[in-house]
């Protein structure tokens, strides 16, 4: 996870998370078991506070894809999301993991550049020579009936090696264009059709309240303050979320060739 001191220097990251929630309301089904994955672009994992309640949130254009089951009824769920809110201290009864698995997220930085890293490694070569060789790490000496002895020993060398790391966009293409393509394809389609342009066109996945809500829903969104922006931006609630969503979307839009690809 990248930490930066200045807000203006932060760029969006793709967050890919597993979600499993119970007694969830998806609209057409209530008290359902919800399982699936969320892909959301957020500049960081934010902390928000309202009164004495503190939860975590990812803010930016995203998508949730999964299934909901209630009794013998089952529904496929595919939703545009503008925020993913969850209580990191919310634990499942049968597993020591949060409802939103933030313990093992896949976090991808499409703007990460390819870089060279120089490492120093120890190389041990096995050498076999004839004659009376002075070798510190002699392994074996074989002397025949005639001729000089054969000596086997290790020769150790310290060598500098350049390692090339793949760029962020290459990694994004590999992860999102492969097994996660059923999740990423609708994201690209919605982005290109301008359906992710406005936060209020998308739902809020409020896992701490066990439901999808509208972005303008006061009960879900009102009065929250983004902790990391305290002293920098006094906006709260819907306005604070709206400003952060727009900031994130604008960066993605201006770098769309790295964030949005076929």
Which two three-digit tokens encode residue 123? 């190389």
Q: Please report the pLDDT score of residue 133 as a whole number.
A: 65
Is residue 99 within 8 Å of residue 86, measured between CB atoms?
A: yes
Per the model's pLDDT, the better-predicted residue between 87 and 114 turns out to be 87
User: Is the C-alpha dihedral spanning 145, 146, 152, 153 positive or negative?
Assistant: positive
The string of pLDDT tens digits covering residues 217-247 is 999 999 999 999 988 888 999 999 999 999 9
Q: Please report the pLDDT score of residue 7 as a whole number.
A: 47
Per the model's pLDDT, the better-predicted residue between 7 and 46 turns out to be 46
Query: pLDDT at residue 65 above 70?
Result: yes
Q: What value does the CA radius of gyration of the chain take, rounded to a whole number of Å?
A: 27
Is residue 20 within 8 Å of residue 69, measured between CB atoms?
A: no
Cα dist from 217 to 83, 97, 202, 238, whole Å: 13, 28, 12, 9
Query: pLDDT at residue 4 above 50?
Result: no
pTM: 0.78
Query: pLDDT at residue 157 above 50?
Result: yes
Q: What is the distance between the alpha carbons of residues 63 and 212, in angstroms, rounded to a whole number?
A: 12
Which two three-digit tokens encode residue 221? 């969104």
Is residue 172 within 8 Å of residue 14, measured between CB atoms?
A: yes
3-state helix, strand, coil in the chain (%, to 5): 25, 45, 35
Per the model's pLDDT, the better-predicted residue between 185 and 96 turns out to be 185
């Amino acid at each position: 996870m990248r930490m930066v001191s200045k807000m203006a220097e932060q760029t969006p990251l793709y967050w890919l998370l597993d979600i499993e929630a119970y007694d969830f309301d998806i609209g057409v089904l209530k008290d359902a078991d919800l399982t699936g994955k969320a892909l959301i672009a957020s500049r960081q994992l934010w902390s928000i506070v309202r009164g004495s309640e503190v939860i975590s949130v990812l803010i930016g254009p995203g998508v949730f894809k999964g299934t909901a089951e209630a009794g013998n009824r089952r529904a496929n769920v595919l939703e545009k999301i503008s925020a993913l809110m969850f209580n990191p201290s919310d634990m499942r009864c049968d597993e020591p993991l949060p409802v939103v698995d933030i313990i093992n997220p896949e976090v991808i930085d499409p703007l990460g550049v390819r870089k060279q890293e120089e490492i120093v490694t120890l190389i041990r070569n096995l050498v076999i020579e004839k004659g009376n060789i002075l070798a510190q790490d002699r392994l074996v000496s074989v002397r025949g009936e005639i001729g000089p002895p054969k000596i086997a020993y290790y020769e150790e060398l310290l060598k500098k090696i350049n390692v090339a790391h793949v760029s962020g966009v290459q990694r994004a293409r590999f992860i999102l264009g492969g097994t996660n393509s059923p999740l990423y394809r609708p994201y690209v389609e919605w982005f290109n059709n301008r359906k992710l342009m406005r936060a209020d066109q998308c739902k809020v996945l409020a896992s701490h309240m066990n439901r999808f809500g509208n972005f303008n829903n006061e009960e879900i969104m009102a009065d929250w303050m983004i902790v990391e922006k305290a002293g920098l931006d006094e906006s709260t609630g819907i306005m604070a979320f709206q400003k952060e969503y727009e900031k994130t979307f604008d960066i993605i839009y201006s770098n769309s060739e790295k964030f949005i690809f076929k």
